[in-house]
Amino acid sequence: MPNKTWNYTWKIFTIVLMLYVILGGLLFEVPALPVIHQTIRNIYFHVGMWFSMIFILFVGFLFSLAYLRTFDLKYDRMAFATVKTGLIFGFLGIITGMIWAQNTWGTYWVNDPKLNGAAVGILVYLAFLILRASLDDPEKRGRLAAVYKIFAFVIMFVFIMILPRISGPSIHPGVDGNPALATGDLDPMMRRVFFPAILGWILFSWWIYTVVERKDKINQKINQLNADQL
Amino acid sequence: MVIKEIIYLMQKEFLLEWRQKHALGGIMLYLVSTIFICYLSFAGIMSVPTWNALFWIIIAFASLNLVLKSFADETSGRKLYLYTLATPSAIIFSKILINSIVMVVLGVLGFILFNLFMGNMAGGNFTYWLVLIIGVLGFSSILTMVSAIASQARNNFTLMAILGFPLILPLLLLLIRASLLAIEGASIKSVSGDLVVILLLVMISLTLSNILFPYLWKE
Mutation site for A-interface testing, chosen from B173, B191, B216 by largest number of A Cβ within 10 Å = B173
- Which among B163, B110, B115 is positioned nearest to B136, based on CA atoms? B110
Query: Would an 8 Å CB–CB cutoff place B205 in contact with chain A?
Result: yes
Judged by DSSP in three states, B43 sits in coil
Q: At what angle do helices A138-167 and B156-183 cross, to 10 degrees?
A: 20
Mutation site for A-interface testing, chosen from B56, B145, B162 by largest number of A Cβ within 10 Å = B162
Chain A residues whose CB is inside 8 A of the B169 CB are 120, 159
- In single-letter form, the type of residue at position B58 comes to I
Query: Would an 8 Å CB–CB cutoff place B154 in contact with chain A?
Result: yes
pLDDT at residue number A43: 83
Inter-chain touch A158–B201, beta carbons under 8 Å: yes
Question: What ipTM was reported for this prediction?
Answer: 0.85
Cα A168 from chain centre? 26
Inter-chain touch A166–B173, beta carbons under 8 Å: yes
Buried b (16+ CB within 10 A) or exposed e, B116-131: eebeebbeebebbbbb
pLDDT at residue number A219: 92
CB atoms within 10 A of CB A165: 15
Query: Would an 8 Å CB–CB cutoff place A129 in contact with chain B?
Result: no
Residues B25-84: pLDDT tens digits? 888 899 999 999 988 888 778 888 888 899 999 999 999 988 888 887 777 777 778 777
CB atoms within 10 A of CB B168: 21
Dist. CA A115–CA B173, nearest whole Å: 15
Cα dihedral A157, A158, A164, A166, rounded to 10, equals -140
State the smallest CA–CA distance between residue A124 and chain B in angstroms.
6
pLDDT at residue number A176: 44
State the smallest CA–CA distance between residue B154 and chain A in angstroms.
6
Confidence of residue B123 (pLDDT cuts 50, 70, 90): low
State the smallest CA–CA distance between residue A46 and chain B in angstroms.
24
CB atoms within 10 A of CB A62: 13
Average pLDDT over residues B108-116: 89
- Domain count across chain A: 1
Inter-chain touch A144–B216, beta carbons under 8 Å: yes
- The answer as to whether A27 is a domain residue is no
Query: Would an 8 Å CB–CB cutoff place B197 in contact with chain A?
Result: yes
- Which among B106, B15, B12 is positioned nearest to B63, based on CA atoms? B106
User: Residue B166 sits in which domain range?
Assistant: 2-217
User: Residue A137 sits in which domain range?
Assistant: 49-184+201-219
Dist. CA A229–CA A2, nearest whole Å: 39
Dist. CA B148–CA B89, nearest whole Å: 13
Inter-chain touch B155–A134, beta carbons under 8 Å: yes
pLDDT at residue number A175: 47
Dist. CA B214–CA B219, nearest whole Å: 10
Burial (CB count within 10 angstroms: exposed 0-12, middle 13-18, buried 19+), residue B158: middle
Mean pLDDT over each residue of chain B, to the nearest integer = 86
- Domain count across chain B: 1
> Could you tell me the mean pLDDT of each successive run of 10 residues in chain A, 230 residues long?
77 91 83 75 87 92 93 92 94 91 84 81 91 88 92 84 65 54 62 87 93 93 88
pLDDT at residue number A180: 47
pLDDT at residue number A37: 74
Chain B residues whose CB is inside 8 A of the A167 CB are 173
